[in-house]
């Protein structure tokens, strides 16, 4: 899918095809209108913020791409990420790079069915809730699945699991 190609549909999403091929049961949630925030998306899905898995794409100085999976309410811990990757510099991928590398537009990105292989890092806290949701590759459509199934599929694809995020906002001050 090039930057000018038609977007994926539920029937053509490679992310959903990969879940089906792996035998992973899932449900789809179609947002009637695009959510304005992660909190709004979680509320519409009947989930807590930390049940949403964010997929962030980074680029290193050698132009290699790394996808980081974080729970909602967390942001990348840049110093921990750079240290883990052995990099002094990392940059968030530009929207056109996200589309080129993943095949998905920002807001619909998930860690499977990617157009190009990337190194996958998953913050271990995405597996704490029993059920999580993530981008389906289709704008306005989320995939809901068991976190244990997501862990199994990610491990089969060589994902590295660790602590790569920190709480954002007021949550960071709660104990």
pLDDT at 6: 60
pLDDT digits (tens, 9 = 90+) for 13-58: 999 999 999 999 999 999 999 899 999 999 999 999 999 999 999 9
pLDDT at 7: 84
pLDDT at 50: 97
118's tokens: 């990337």
8's tokens: 């994926």
pLDDT at 41: 96
User: How far apart are the C-alpha atoms of 136 and 88, rounded to whole Å?
Assistant: 32
DSSP 132-171: EEEE-SSTTEEEEEEHHHHHHHHHHTT-EEE--EEE-GGG
How is the chain split into domains, by residue range? 39-168
Return the CATH architecture of domain 39-168: Alpha-Beta Complex (3.90)
pLDDT at 169: 73
pLDDT digits (tens, 9 = 90+) for 106-149: 999 999 999 999 999 999 999 999 999 999 999 999 999 999 99
73's tokens: 């309410």
Q: pTM to 2 decimals?
A: 0.92
pLDDT band at 174 (very low <50, low <70, confident <90, very high): very low
137's tokens: 């590759």
Residue listed under structure tokens 């389906």: 136
């Amino acid at each position: 899918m090039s930057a000018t190609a038609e977007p994926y549909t539920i029937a053509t999403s490679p992310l959903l095809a990969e879940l089906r091929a792996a035998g992973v049961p899932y449900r789809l949630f179609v947002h009637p209108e695009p959510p304005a925030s992660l909190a709004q998306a979680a509320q519409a899905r009947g989930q807590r913020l930390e049940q949403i898995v964010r997929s962030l794409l980074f680029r290193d100085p050698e132009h290699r791409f790394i996808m980081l999976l974080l729970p909602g309410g967390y942001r990348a811990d840049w110093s921990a990420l750079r240290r883990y990757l052995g990099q002094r510099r990392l940059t968030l991928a530009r929207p056109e790079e996200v589309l080129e590398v993943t095949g998905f537009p920002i807001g619909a990105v998930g860690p499977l069915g990617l157009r190009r292989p990337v190194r996958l890092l998953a913050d271990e806290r995405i597996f704490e809730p029993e059920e999580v949701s993530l981008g389906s590759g289709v704008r306005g459509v989320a995939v809901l699945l068991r976190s244990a199934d997501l862990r199994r599929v990610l491990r089969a694809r060589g994902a590295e699991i660790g602590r790569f995020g920190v709480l954002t906002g007021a949550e960071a001050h709660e104990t």
